[in-house]
């Protein structure tokens, strides 16, 4: 099995992950008009600001075209509305590993089935279609809500990477690292499917 993550449509019952394209720019910028806390822990400035959004969006297109990342727009299926974005990052083809990150959801999509199903689709594609042996997720050490959400996916906490990333404002953050391995995936899949069945 060739481990080569590329843009690919992923669709579930609640959400559709569309490979990021230029047509998503305006509706995604509209979706990014969120209260400040939605982007509180982002490495970039708030994507509600066009001067931050457009370079971030261009970065997603450029890296997807180069094969160094895969960026998606998150679409709520019931009404076709764009409600966020996510990416495969840190793609290490020789090691069959990648990261899920650079994820955000509009407030209206938070604490709904959308995030759970989006992560489920990304994890299932990574492990079952691509043959990944490791998928990692990381967040600001201080972001307790994100850490709880990642743990609910079945990811194992692996520790704190001290002074690991510098934010747009110069703050050097400690990063909490989580991961699932191919061996973890069957139990995590069952857990996520049970969670989605209850929605």
Mean pLDDT for the stretch of residues 94-109: 96
In a domain, 2, yes or no: no
Mean pLDDT for the stretch of residues 22-26: 98
Mean pLDDT for the stretch of residues 9-36: 97
pLDDT at 1 over 80: no
CATH number at residue 15: 3.40.630.30
What pLDDT does residue 24 have? 98
In a domain, 137, yes or no: yes
In a domain, 121, yes or no: yes
Mean pLDDT for the stretch of residues 110-122: 94
pLDDT at 176 over 90: yes
What pLDDT does residue 98 have? 98
What pLDDT does residue 198 have? 87
pLDDT at 91 over 90: yes
In a domain, 3, yes or no: no
In a domain, 5, yes or no: no
Provide the β-strand partners of residue 11.
Answer: 16
pLDDT per position as a tens digit, 37-57: 999 999 999 999 999 999 999
pLDDT at 20 over 90: yes
The gap from C-alpha 124 to its chain's centroid, in whole angstroms, comes to 13
What pLDDT does residue 199 have? 79
Helix (H, G, I), strand (E, B) or coil at 128: helix
In a domain, 4, yes or no: no
Count of the separate structural domains present in the chain: 1
Residue 1: Cβ within 10 Å count: 9
pLDDT at 128 over 90: yes
- Report the predicted TM-score, pTM, of the whole model to 2 decimal places: 0.97
Q: Rounded CA gap, 131 and 59, in Å?
A: 26
What pLDDT does residue 111 have? 86
In a domain, 25, yes or no: yes
**Domain, as residue range, for 125:** 10-197
**At how many degrees (to 10) do helices 113-124 and 185-197 cross?**
150
What pLDDT does residue 10 have? 98
Mean pLDDT for the stretch of residues 83-102: 98
In a domain, 1, yes or no: no
């Amino acid at each position: 099995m060739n481990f080569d993550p590329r843009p690919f449509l992923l669709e579930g019952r609640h959400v559709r992950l569309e490979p990021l394209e230029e047509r998503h720019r305006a509706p995604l910028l509209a979706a990014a008009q969120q209260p400040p806390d939605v982007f509180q822990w982002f490495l970039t400035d708030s994507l509600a600001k066009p001067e931050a959004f457009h370079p971030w969006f261009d970065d997603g297109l450029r890296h997807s075209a180069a094969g160094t990342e895969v960026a998606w727009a998150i679409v709520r299926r019931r009404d076709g509305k764009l409600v966020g974005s996510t990416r495969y990052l840190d793609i290490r083809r020789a090691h069959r590993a990648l990261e899920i990150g650079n994820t955000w959801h509009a407030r209206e999509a938070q604490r709904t089935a959308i995030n759970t199903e989006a992560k489920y689709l990304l994890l299932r594609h990574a492990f079952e279609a691509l043959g990944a042996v490791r998928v990692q997720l990381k967040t600001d050490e201080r972001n307790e809500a994100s850490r709880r959400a990642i743990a609910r996916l079945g990811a194992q906490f692996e520790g704190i990477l001290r002074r690991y990333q510098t934010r747009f404002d110069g703050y050097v953050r400690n990063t909490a690292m989580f991961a699932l391995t191919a061996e973890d995936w069957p139990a995590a899949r069952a857990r996520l499917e049970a969670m989605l069945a209850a929605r």
